[in-house]
Amino acid sequence: MHYYETGRIGDYIVKPPFVLGHEPGGTVVEVGKGVKHLKVGDRVALEPGKTCGHCEFCREGKYNLCSDVIFFATPPVDGVFQEYVAHEADLCFKLPDNVDTMEGALIEPLAVGFHAANQGDAHAGQTAVVFGAGCIGLVSMMALKAEGISKVYVVDIMQKRLDKALELGATGVINSKEEDIQEAVARLTEGKGVDLVIETAGMEITTRQAIHITKKGGTIVLVGYSKTGEMTLPLSLALDKELTFKTVFRYRHIYPMAIEAVASGKVNLKGIVTNIFELNDIQNAMDSSVRDKANIVKSVVRIS
């Protein structure tokens, strides 16, 4: 959606013609001669990025930072809004019988949520806040819950999205359009602040608020991209609190555990889907998702 709305994400700039879509789930129709773990008819989730495998970052296991990655729908590589795609077998993860291909497609954003939780060292006993109740905010909330954090609060200005967060398991929600976020968090934490913040909105105001509500020694994980790429923040306060800042770029080594979290019932991926469109209605799907963010949390395009 970022590419459709703005034509860019960070330094990646779209030059038409360009096929969008980077969250694929589907059914295997053909396999190469050397492929042993998959067969025709298997349902799979596709991790969309093929990396070089031999650079410094790949060797360290941080393959999401590889500069030579070929990633669906990241310029100049076309995406998956098409009937067939060819992909590396090692990046196609077989789905259990109780996980369908729609959930398989949604493993991609869920992987971002789990990577954010991992970057923040999420664990039982913490209290967390997620800024943003869009798709990435909701999967981040569910990832935190799956990692054992029992108290996870979600902040947004769109009430229907906050209602969805409650439906999916948020401990509580804060509509920052109607309530002062600092006062609300102080009330919920007896004035202590939260241990962990996941910021998915990508806005200066929410990032500033994150610094104010995080307790001393806490951690802020930045996930959302801002439109300008620049922010003015109260860093003196962050220094006084000795906060830890972590950032997220995609994910690494997440797909198997994310699939297991869905299969075991820890994460309700189907619950985030508010609209399903057919491929021949994709123009309407994209325009509606941009225009009606208050009501459309996550759209899925059914190819066939």
Please list the alpha-helical segments (H only) found in 60-158.
101-119, 135-146
From the list 200, 115, 207, 211, the residue with the least C-alpha distance to 154 is 200
Contact 160, 175 (CB under 8 A): no
Contact 5, 290 (CB under 8 A): yes
The whole-chain average pLDDT of the chain stands at: 96
- Say if strands 275-278 and 299-302 run parallel, antiparallel, or are unpaired: parallel
User: Residue 112 has which token pair?
Assistant: 């971002």
Q: How many helices (H) and strands (E) does the chain have?
A: 10, 15
13 strand-pairing partners: 8
DSSP 80: S
Q: How far apart are CA 156 and CA 159, in angstroms?
A: 7
Q: How far apart are CA 273 and CA 241, in angstroms?
A: 38
Give the distance, in angstroms, between the CA of residue 226 and the centroid of all CA atoms in the same chain: 15
188-229 tens-digit pLDDT: 999 999 999 999 999 999 999 999 999 999 999 999 998 888
Angle, vertex CA 183, rays to CA 179 and CA 185, nearest 5: 100
Contact 57, 63 (CB under 8 A): yes
Structure pTM?
0.95
**Taking 90 as the threshold, does the pLDDT of residue 12 lie above it?**
no
> Is the preceding peptide bond at 17 cis, omega within 30 degrees of 0?
yes
User: Residue 11 has which token pair?
Assistant: 């330094």
Task: Kindly state the percentage of the chain with pLDDT values over 70.
Answer: 100
Residue showing tokens 């077989």: 94
Query: At 26, which amino acid appears?
Result: G
Q: How far apart are CA 211 and CA 193, in angstroms?
A: 10
Quick one: pLDDT band at residue 298, thresholds 50, 70, 90? very high
Other beta carbons within 10 Å of 275: 15
DSSP 266: S
From the list 37, 49, 148, the residue with the least C-alpha distance to 93 is 37
226-274 tens-digit pLDDT: 888 899 999 999 999 999 999 999 999 999 999 999 999 999 999 999 9
Contact 225, 2 (CB under 8 A): yes
User: Residue 130 has which token pair?
Assistant: 């997620």
44-79 tens-digit pLDDT: 999 999 999 999 999 999 999 999 999 999 999 999
Contact 99, 259 (CB under 8 A): yes
Q: Quote the longest CA-to-CA distance of the chain.
A: 61
DSSP 64: G
Q: How far apart are CA 276 and CA 298, in angstroms?
A: 9
Structural domains of the chain sorted by starting position, each given as residue range(s) with its CATH number in brackets: 2-105+274-302 (3.90.180.10), 111-247 (3.40.50.720)
Rounded to an integer, the average pLDDT of 81-87 is 96
Give the distance, in angstroms, between the CA of residue 93 and the centroid of all CA atoms in the same chain: 18
Rounded to an integer, the average pLDDT of 103-128 is 98
User: What are the Cα distances from residue 145, in Å, to 83, 154, 170, 261?
Assistant: 35, 12, 8, 11
